[in-house]
Structure 1
Amino acid sequence: MKVLTFHAEKCKGCMECMKACSKIHFKTDEGSEKSAIQIIKKNSSYIMNACNQCGLCIDICPVGAITRKKTGVVWLDKNTCIGCQACVGFCPTNSMRKAKDHIEPFKCISCGACVRACPENALELVEKQVQEIKKTVYHKLGAE
């Protein structure tokens, strides 16, 4: 499956990736609140926060609105979602987002809009296996 990967050493903080994400998914270029990717300045560099497709949110959804597509991407069905925000509170990477004017949460679906928008090539979609991603998340949580 394709997972968004960040090369911090290339990022200049232009936020074009966030604007592209919000434009594709919410038809606005507000960037920060309505972007599934977050670029955050930390000291003299930048870090990225976006869904790594680990799928740990799938079982927490009380109505089964979150599933894994055949491509491996974790998908939130907005028609099934009841807006309870359990996934937002549960997400171990804080990548499930909530916009003030929308009931349903949203997340990165590895569409590549941000990758195409980045003038510095700081983002790329990389092929990874689900087990590899889960192992990384469990390690970060101290729950190997």
Structure 2
Amino acid sequence: MRQLRIDLTKCNYGKDCAHECESACATRVFKLDDPALAALHIRDHGDGTGTTILCDQCGDCVVVCPAEALKRNKLGVVMINKSLCVGCYMCVGFCEKEAFERNPDWAEPYKCTSCGICVKACPHAALEIVDVPEPAYRII
């Protein structure tokens, strides 16, 4: 399955790139003008450390979706079927990684789809798309 990974030894939490990867995700993938609405977030804590928020495609959200709007595609990436999504946000509340985003103009949430746009935009080559085995779902 495809998974977006970040190498934190290469990332400097947007100090040089001004979050080029977030901007690329928001504008090119989701057609939004605001990088804060990207599906990838890189945050500098100001003390030399930082946090990244991204979907690792674990698939746990698939199990809790009452509308069955979340499914893995042929690459193993969890995708949201907008026509099935009822906007209940169960996936948002269940995701421990806080990988789902909300746009006030949209009924359904959205998340990273490991498309790779951010990988090309990262000036430090800290992001990459890797193939990993599909994990087992958690028992809830």
Query: What is the distance in 2 between the residues matched to 1:119 and 1:80?
Result: 37
What does 1:30-69 correspond to in 2, within 5 Å?
A: 30-32=34-36, 34-42=37-45, 43-69=47-73
SS at structure 2 position matched to 1:75: strand
Q: TM-score, normalised by structure 2?
A: 0.88
CA offset digits 1:64-104 (Å, max 9, x no partner): 10001111000101111111111100112111111222211
Q: Distance in 1 between matches of 2:50 and 2:10?
A: 9
In structure 2, distance between residues paired with 1:24 and 1:62: 30
- CA distance in 2: counterparts of 1:26 and 1:46, whole angstroms: 24
Where in structure 1 do 4 or more consecutive aligned residues deviate above 4 Å? none
Deviation by residue 1:20-78 (Cα, 9 ceiling, x = unmatched): 0001232134111x211111112313321111101001121111100011110001011
Q: Which amino acid aligns with 1:8?
A: L
Instruction: Decide whether aligned partners of structure 1 residues 117 and 29 sit closer, same or farther in structure 2, where only a CA change above 3 A counts.
Output: farther
User: What's the RMSD between the two structures over aligned residues?
Assistant: 1.7
Give 1 or 2: higher helix fraction. Answer: 1
2:123 equivalent to 1:96: no
**What is the CA–CA distance in structure 2 between the aligned matches of 1:122 and 1:90, rounded to whole Å?**
28
**Structure 2: where are the runs of 5+ without partners?**
none
Matched-pair identity in %: 40
Whole-Å separation in 2 of the counterparts to 1:21 and 1:84: 24
Shift of 1:119: 1.0
> Does 2:120 match 1:116?
yes
Normalization by structure 1: what TM-score? 0.85
